[in-house]
A and B are shown apart, each in its own frame.
Chain A
């Protein structure tokens, strides 16, 4: 566990990403350097097309950079094959998406246990106990046996957050986690993310359009046209 203590959760050096080739090649990210320390609660903001989502996909190991190096918990990821990336992603990274993305064929409890099930291959009592505890923590103790589409938007997003935490990841990536919710639910979900961050010291990187929410984070990273143009840390005057 030494590397978990000494290494940053995430380190990017000179990350580039381009699509197409030859004449039609276009570079979306022009050499990003970024470091996220353990327990940081950061917002990634920027206009549409600035490369936020592309960067998030790279950090989430869903896509590969065209150049540069990407370390998760100190582990270099450039040499890993698809299986290796998949395993690392499953163990170290949790995702929260704008559109909840629960699997409708399963109950809330099963959705939360899903990352554990995928990793272990077979269900067991322990993973459901863990999933149950997580659902208790996000305030959905009463909804465990509901199918995903029997829950409200805010509730689904809470389930998604519980699911993202199931593997006790080092880093949770949230892509517009409140974008699809009304202001009240959005505040609740944001508060929940903050609470998890404080309690478990989990690192968060939240992509958002909402400057009001971004202002409540510890650090604001701003991107324009594939470059980081501002990176400000402050003690959030929130809560």
Chain B
């Protein structure tokens, strides 16, 4: 008997050890429940992180655009009905974008800022003729928003004067390769010839077939935006902050700020409902674990009625009896969660071995977050104590006279 251990702990542990089979079965039961919860949580967060990462590989977290142009009518003469035609939105620069950029750089939430001059254009090579989005970027800044250097599959991200980087899909359509010349024409009939210096694959067929990156200066002159930029791309440290920050920036600058959450509303809703449904499943697994613990302890209280009576006759208080059984619930929950975390880790290892991409790399990386294990252990112990509440009260209120005679 350990001298530092309080009486209630000693009794709880001895009772659990004595009912070895019962204790083992319920700990395994709790373990399986915890394992499913931990495994599912890890799988889901891995899957979602992976999906979000893929979605954001070709998108900025926040895009700043010039405010929409609105036609402002003069006050109409009395008696004449006014019919207002919506104004067509022309490509124009963000007013004083340098100052805005400087201000944004002061915000700690922002990881990178990249001003972009982008607009529609045509690319021509031989007989091929394709509509594209021409993007003038500062490669260093842009790489902070979209990991373009990592996505280069041929050549390099080099866009000096007369140089362009195109997607693999466009390269295929044009039959162009590194070193080939392409001619880009804009709606304003400005034309310039570029040498292809690199091919990228951003994992999105549309983007790979449409985006053409050139230097900021070339795009500005082609799009008639000399000195201006049409948008500012922003990446954040915490992508979940995008919506909040977008509203803040919009309010401060008067620009239109679109967060990825708004741009991908359906996708985000899908993620959210996935999370909700997994929470529901987790809740019910937790509930059935709790009922399992409670039912084993109810039986144990009945089996130990005589011992409870004896302890009460010896001067054990109702509180002491209550705590003995609450502790049993807590201990079962705790050890069950340790077992469950171990099982979950095993499942995840198996998953890593089995779920692979065609090229043999793991489908997506998931790991057991130590925090998740700690939360599972704490949560399961708590669930154990809560589910022991009913049986423990029963033990505490047992009439010693009846218990001893029984």
| Bind each other | yes
- Listed in ascending order, the chain A residues whose CB lies under 8 Å from chain B are 53, 57, 60, 62-63, 82-83, 86-87, 89-91, 95, 97, 101, 103-106, 110, 114-115, 117-125, 128, 163, 167
Are A86 and B401 in touch, CB under 8 angstroms? no
Interface of B toward A, CB cutoff 8 Å: 1-7, 10-11, 14-15, 17-18, 306-307, 309-318, 320, 399-401, 404-405
A105 touches B317 (CB 8 A): no
Q: Are B5 and A118 in contact (CB under 8 A)?
A: no
Nearest A residue to B310, CB-CB: A101
Q: Are B14 and A91 in contact (CB under 8 A)?
A: no
Smallest CB gap from A118: residue in B: B316
Residues of A within 8 A of B399 (CB): 63
Given contacts A103-B311, A122-B6, 5 further A-B contacts (CB under 8 A): A82-B317, A104-B18, A105-B15, A125-B3, A167-B315
- The answer for the CA separation of A95 and B311 in the assembled complex, in Å, is 11
User: Does B315 lie within 8 Å of A105, measured CB to CB?
Assistant: no
Q: How far is the CB of A26 from chain B (nearest CB, A)?
A: 17
The docked-state distance in angstroms from the alpha carbon of A89 to that of B311 is 11
Q: A103-B307, A105-B15 are in contact. Are A122 and B313 (CB under 8 A)?
A: no
Q: CA of A83 to CA of B322 in the docked complex: distance in angstroms?
A: 13
Which 4 A/B pairs are nearest by Cβ-Cβ distance?
A90-B315, A105-B14, A105-B18, A115-B314
- Subset of 12 A-B contacts with CB under 8 Å: A53-B405, A62-B313, A86-B318, A87-B315, A95-B314, A101-B307, A101-B310, A110-B1, A117-B7, A117-B10, A119-B315, A122-B5
Q: Which residues of A contact B14 (CB under 8 A)?
A: 105-106
Do B400 and A91 touch (CB < 8 A)? Answer: no
How far is A128 from B314 in the complex, measured between Cα atoms in Å?
17
Give the interface centre of B2, B14, B314 by most chain A CB atoms within 10 Å: B314
Asked if B3 and A86 sit within 8 Å, CB to CB, the answer is no
Q: Are A121 and B317 in contact (CB under 8 A)?
A: no
Neighbouring A residues of B5 by C-beta, 8 Å: 122-123
Q: Give Cα A97 to B6, complex, Å.
A: 27
In the complex, the answer to whether B315 meets A124 with C-beta atoms within 8 Å is no
* Choice from A104, A105, A110, A118 contacting B314 with Cβ under 8 Å: A118
Whole-angstrom distance between the Cβ of B110 and the nearest chain A Cβ: 57
Q: How far is the CA of A87 from the CA of B312 in the complex (A)?
A: 10
B320 in complex: contacting residue of A57, A118, A124, A128, CB < 8 Å: A118
Cβ of A102 to closest chain B Cβ, rounded Å: 8
Please state if A86 and B312 are interface contacts (CB–CB under 8 Å): yes
Point out the residues of chain A lying under 8 angstroms from B10, CB to CB: 117, 123
The CA-CA distance from A63 to B400 in the complex, in Å, is 8
A104-B18, A122-B7, A123-B5 in contact; A62/B318 too (CB < 8 A)? no
| Distance from A72 Cβ to chain B, minimum over Cβ atoms (Å) | 13
Say which residue of B17, B306, B315, B401 sits within 8 Å of A101 (CB atoms).
B306
Q: Which of B17, B310, B312, B315 contacts A103 (CB 8 A)?
A: B310
- Determine chain A's interface SS by DSSP, over half rule: helix
Assuming the contacts A89-B313, A89-B315, asked whether A122 and B4 have C-beta atoms less than 8 A apart, the reply is: yes
**Shortest distance in angstroms between B302's beta carbon and chain A's nearest beta carbon?**
16
Inter-chain CA distance A97–B406, complex, in Å, is: 13
Q: How far is it, in angstroms, between the C-alpha of A133 and the C-alpha of B113 when the chains are bound?
A: 82
- Centre residue among B4, B306, B309, B310 by max chain A CB count within 10 A: B310
Shortest CB-to-CB span from B362 to chain A, Å, is 49
Tell me the nearest residue of chain B to A164, going by C-beta: B314
Closest Cβ of chain B to A24, distance in Å, is 19
Inter-chain contacts of B314 with A (CB < 8 A): 90, 95, 114-115, 118, 163
User: With the chains together, A62 CA to B314 CA distance in Å?
Assistant: 10
| CB-contact partner of B311 in A110, A114, A121, under 8 A | A114
Query: Could you tell me the distance between the alpha carbons of A119 and B317 in the complex, rounded to whole angstroms?
Result: 9
Q: Which residues of B contact A60 (CB under 8 A)?
A: 313
Please, how many angstroms separate the alpha-carbon atoms of A157 and B320 in the complex? Answer: 26
Q: Which of A97, A123, A163 contacts B404 (CB 8 A)?
A: A97
Report how far A105 CA is from B324 CA in the complex, Å: 14
Closest B residue by C-beta to A117: B7
Q: A68 to B217, alpha carbons, bound, how many Å?
A: 106
Measured CB to CB, the closest approach of chain A to B402, in angstroms, equals 10
**Do B401 and A63 have beta carbons less than 8 Å apart?**
yes
Residues in B whose Cβ lies below 8 Å from that of A121 = 6-7
Residues of B within 8 A of A91 (CB): 315
> Which residues of the partner chain B approach A86 to less than 8 Å between Cβ atoms?
312, 315-318
Q: Say how far B230's CB is from chain A's closest CB, in angstroms.
A: 75
Q: What residues of chain B lie closer than 8 Å to A83, measured between beta carbons?
A: 317-318
B3 engages A124 (CB within 8 Å)? yes
A-chain residues with CB within 8 Å of residue B17 when the two chains form the complex: 105
Complex: chain B residue closest to A113, CB-CB? B1
Q: How far is the CA of A238 from the CA of B315 in the complex (A)?
A: 34
- Nearest chain B CB to A151 CB, angstrom units: 16
CA distance A128 to B3 in the complex (A): 11
For residue B19, which residue of chain A has the nearest CB?
A105
Contacting residues, chain A, for B307 (C-beta < 8 A) = 101, 103-105
Q: Given A104-B18, A105-B17: A123 and B2 within 8 A (CB)?
A: yes
